[in-house]
Amino acid sequence: MSEIEIKVPNIGDFKDVEVIEVLVSEGQSIKKNEALITIESDKSSVEIPSNLEGKVKNLKIKVGDKVSEGDLILTIESNLEIKKEEVKEKLDIEKDIKKTEIKKDYIQPKIIHKKNVTDISFASPKARKFARELGVNINQVIGSEKDGRVIEDDIKKFVSSNSKNNAAVKDSKPNKIKSEFEHSDFGEVEIKDVPRVKKLSSKYLINSWTTIPHVTNHDEADITEMENFRSSLKDMYTGEKIKITPLAFIIKALVASLKKFPNFNSSIDEIDSGKMTVKKYYHIGIAVDTPNGLMVPKLRNANNKKISLISKELKEISELCRNLKIDKKELFGGSMTITSLGGIGGSFFTPIINYPEVAILGVGRSEKKQIFMNGKFQIRTMLPISLSYDHRIIDGAEAARFNNDLKENLGKNFAYKLAV
């Protein structure tokens, strides 16, 4: 182990510069580029780093000393085999550290500018020590005193501001959990590309799920008469059976409920503003299952269309989505969305709200059940419905009333009125 001297490197056109802070002590282990002392002149304040690593043996300098290039700072014990030329290598501080020029004859107005990480802050030893205790890089702190000098209050404000910003970043970017093992450690795997539609929609789903407080109410609607009526529809001229999807009836029923409960046909862009946008149009989003992923086109002005036209347009926009020919604009600007699993199967689930909408209706597959009505059990066709809503705007009681109204709209009287 050899004892090596570390001296003041080239610090520009400065002589007899005051040492305002000693950052290491005897017996301390230091790393390469670790700051040893802080010096301060009339023009700048800089930290002198070590060009070696080792253990401090003798400190040759103290606070208040005047130093120039070549003065001995300390000696270290190091296991490294180092040539004398390397030990005496002069570090050009102007290359490694951007100095902050301090103008003595001019005091700038208190305009806050962003500082580069490499800028050097003008600060007292006490302020620097306080910053180190808090783990703060003092070079990032904006000084409020004369000539930009940093004081303890500046550091406190910096820490407070950063805490809020870090919390916001942490909330907006959930930590990714990395597995200790690779999937291939357990057997054969295949790496495939995520379909483009799913990749594009993922950010919207994450935004919706993480920013909107979802609540879901589950219920069942008796659609016995509606289904009987739907299956009995025939062309008045040819006598052929008219095929109209149950979804067309559900859309008309939903529009009627939206008119009665306008909060469900609204959006909130910024809850802190205290404002919400209530829409006067009725554009119903329909979740369409495609080979490329889920797409949600809008059926425009559903309130002005008859059942037969709605059924026809449903087929058309679904086909456009499956062939990736739908206009991008048609995927936005909805009132409320319906997502149906009726053609596949399943009952209740929790649909994710299609932001910036505030509610979504999930529909399962209908089935016949024994229901106790009018003093006896009867076989009825029941439709499972799952209503997810934004709890910032809609509370549980309002959601329950909305579901009750929707069930009435899907009942026998409404089903008949829709078709005549």
Q: What does the pLDDT look like over 175-219, one tens digit per residue?
A: 566 677 888 889 999 998 888 788 888 888 888 888 899 999 999
pLDDT of residue 414: 63
pLDDT of residue 286: 96
Tokens of 206: 């994450």
Contact present, 342 and 316 (Cβ < 8 Å):
no
Q: Is the dihedral of CA 367, 371, 377, 381 positive or negative?
A: negative
Q: pTM (2 decimals)?
A: 0.57
Of the pLDDT bands very low, low, confident and very high (cuts 50, 70, 90), residue 44 is low
| The most confident of 94-103, 145-154, 330-339, by mean pLDDT | 330-339
Domain 2-169 coded CATH 2.40.50.100 = yes
What average pLDDT does range 358-374 have in this prediction?
94
What average pLDDT does range 238-242 have in this prediction?
78
What is the rounded CA–CA span in Å between residue 2 and residue 397?
Answer: 80
What is the rounded CA–CA span in Å between residue 144 and residue 365?
Answer: 67
The more confident residue out of 349 and 128 is 349
pLDDT of residue 82: 47
pLDDT of residue 116: 46
Identify the burial level of 348 via C-beta atoms within 10 angstroms of its C-beta, where 0-12 means exposed, 13-18 middle and 19 or more buried: middle
pLDDT of residue 103: 39
Residue-wise pLDDT for 116-171, tens only, equals 444 445 676 677 777 777 777 777 888 887 667 788 888 888 887 776 555 554 45
pLDDT of residue 108: 39
pLDDT of residue 335: 96
Amino acid of residue 375: G
pLDDT of residue 80: 60
382 bridge partner residues: 222, 367
The more confident residue out of 247 and 80 is 247
Residue 317 has pLDDT above 90, yes or no: yes
Where in the chain do CATH 2.40.50.100 domains reside? Answer: 2-169
Reduce the secondary structure of the chain to three states and give it as a string: CEEEEEECCCCCCCCCEEEEEECCCCCCEECCCCEEEEEECCCCEEEEECCCCEEEEEECCCCCCEECCCCEEEEEEECCCCCHHHHCCCCCHHHHCECCCCCCCCCCCCCCCCCCCCECCCECHHHHHHHHHCCCCHHHCCCCCHHHCECHHHHHHHHHHHHHHHHHHHHHCCCCCCCCCCHHHHCCCCCCCCCHHHHHHHHHHHHHHHHCCEEEEEEEEECHHHHHHHHHCECCCCCCECCCCHHHHHHHHHHHHHHHCHHHHEECCCHHHCCCEECCCCCEEECEEECCEEECCEECCHHHCCHHHHHHHHHHHHHHHHCCCCCHHHHCCCCEEEEECCCCCCCCCCCCCCCCCCEEEEECCCEEEEEEECCEEEEEEEEEEEEEEECCCCCHHHHHHHHHHHHHHCCHHHHHHHHC
Q: What's the order of all strands across the beta sheet hosting 2-7?
A: 2-7, 72-78, 54-59, 29-30
pLDDT of residue 331: 92
What average pLDDT does range 68-95 have in this prediction?
63
Residue 419 has pLDDT above 60, yes or no: no
pLDDT of residue 64: 84
Domain 197-419 coded CATH 3.30.559.10 = yes
What is the rounded CA–CA span in Å between residue 48 and residue 34?
Answer: 8
Strands 376-390 and 359-363: antiparallel
What average pLDDT does range 284-309 have in this prediction?
92
The more confident residue out of 172 and 69 is 69
What average pLDDT does range 85-106 have in this prediction?
42
Where in the chain do CATH 3.30.559.10 domains reside? Answer: 197-419
Contact present, 338 and 363 (Cβ < 8 Å):
yes
What average pLDDT does range 4-33 have in this prediction?
82
For the chain, percent of residues with pLDDT exceeding 70: 80
Least confident of 12-16, 266-270, 291-295, 359-363: 12-16
pLDDT of residue 143: 81
| Residue numbers annotated as active site | 391
